[in-house]
Amino acid sequence: MHFWSFLVSVYHWLTAGDQWHGGDGVPHLLANHVRISISSLLVSAAIAIPIGAWLGHRGVGGTLAINIANVGRAIPIYALLVLAVQIFGITSPRGFGWTGSFVAFVPLVLLGIPPMLTNSYIGVREVGGELVDAARGMGLSEGEILRRVEIPVAMPLIMAGIRTAMVGIVATATLASFTGVDTLATPIYIGLNTNDNVAVFGGAVLVAVLAVVADLALAVVQRAVVSPGLRERRTRRQRVMVTVPPAA
């Protein structure tokens, strides 16, 4: 098939009416994908950021924080999904609560932890010195120093960690469609099994758009939560690649 006529069929696939409603429709798949991603990101952040920030504040556990990120990178993520299926079993592959499928939820939470833990550790650790001494001199308690000085100053790096985790989670939720979980990549999975290249390509377009939009959305959040005084530093810091998302 000529590539242009192929693209036209993809366009027709994307705009077909039955693509946009019903149990296999794009809105349903998109909702599941977003729900799984957000719930795992929140739980993952609730575990990783406090631990990383506290370790950074105390200045202990650095090797642990860095090594967790390195080990996380080496584990093939698809294997983690398959492992979850074999441990928990596919109880209801098409059923979803708020957390989506439990089978996808557990690996997604695990893979979100390393970048956020490492970045909040390094971010808080690097504040250090004069700023913390000044805060202590002003009579702030240790908890206040962490909450009101170290975390706000470390925010650029913490947000970079959150974005890294989000990219990894959205990508892995995509992969979860290969272990029987409904996500936006389900058309890719079905298309591959039925030799339907149009569905494969159309699904891929949808997934790619979602991933880029999710990253842009977090970039907007980042602008909102990072103090304007830190902006210049943020752009400098971001060039350094502290962590990369676990490959997915």
Partner 1 sequence: MLAALLANGPNSWVWWAWIPDHQHEIYAYLREHIALTAMAVVFGIIIALPLAILAARRRAIAAVVIPVVNAIYTIPSVALLALLLPTTGTGRVPAVIALTMYNLAILVRNTLEGLRGVPVDVLDAADGMGYTPRRRLVRVELPLALPAIVAGIRLATVSTIGLVTITFIVDQGGLGRFIQDGYQRDFHTPLVVGIVLSVALATFADLLLVRVERLVTPWRSRSDR
Rule CB under 8 A: choose which of 76, 95, 97, 143 binds partner 1: 76
Nearer to partner 1, 123 or 203 (CB): 203
Which residues between 145 and 174 bind partner 1 (CB under 8 A)? 167, 170-172, 174
How many angstroms separate the Cα of 95 from the Cα of each of 32, 111, 188? 10, 23, 20
> Considering the rule CB under 8 A, would residue 179 count as an interface residue with partner 1?
yes
Euclidean distance between CA atoms 194 and 200, whole angstroms? 10
Euclidean distance between CA atoms 20 and 28, whole angstroms? 8
Rule CB under 8 A: choose which of 212, 223, 227, 231 binds partner 1: 212
Q: Which two tokens stand for residue 211?
A: 């991933």
Nearer to partner 1, 145 or 211 (CB): 211
> Considering the rule CB under 8 A, would residue 123 count as an interface residue with partner 1?
no
How many angstroms separate the Cα of 31 from the Cα of each of 26, 27, 28, 80? 8, 6, 5, 23
Which residues between 1 and 40 bind partner 1 (CB under 8 A)? 3, 6
Q: Which residues pair with 230 in a beta bridge?
A: none
Please enumerate in sequence order all residues whose Cβ is within 8 A of that of 167, keeping only pairs 6 or more positions apart, or say none. 211, 214, 215, 245
> Considering the rule CB under 8 A, would residue 244 count as an interface residue with partner 1?
yes
Segment contacting partner 1 (CB under 8 A): 38-46, 96-104, 134-142, 184-192?
184-192
Which residues between 40 and 69 bind partner 1 (CB under 8 A)? none
Euclidean distance between CA atoms 242 and 164, whole angstroms? 10
Q: How far is the CB of 218 from partner 1 (least distance, A)?
A: 11
Euclidean distance between CA atoms 143 and 241, whole angstroms? 29
Euclidean distance between CA atoms 85 and 102, whole angstroms? 9
> Considering the rule CB under 8 A, would residue 194 count as an interface residue with partner 1?
no
Q: How far is the CB of 45 from partner 1 (least distance, A)?
A: 19
Strand, helix or coil at 100?
strand
> Considering the rule CB under 8 A, would residue 217 count as an interface residue with partner 1?
no
Q: Which two tokens stand for residue 35?
A: 């729900």
Give the x/- contact pattern for partner 1 in 83-102, rule: CB under 8 A: x-xx----------------
Binding site for partner 1 (CB under 8 A): 3, 6, 70-71, 73-79, 82-83, 85-86, 167, 170-172, 174-175, 177-179, 185, 188, 191-192, 197, 200-201, 203-205, 207-208, 211-212, 215, 239-241, 244, 246-248
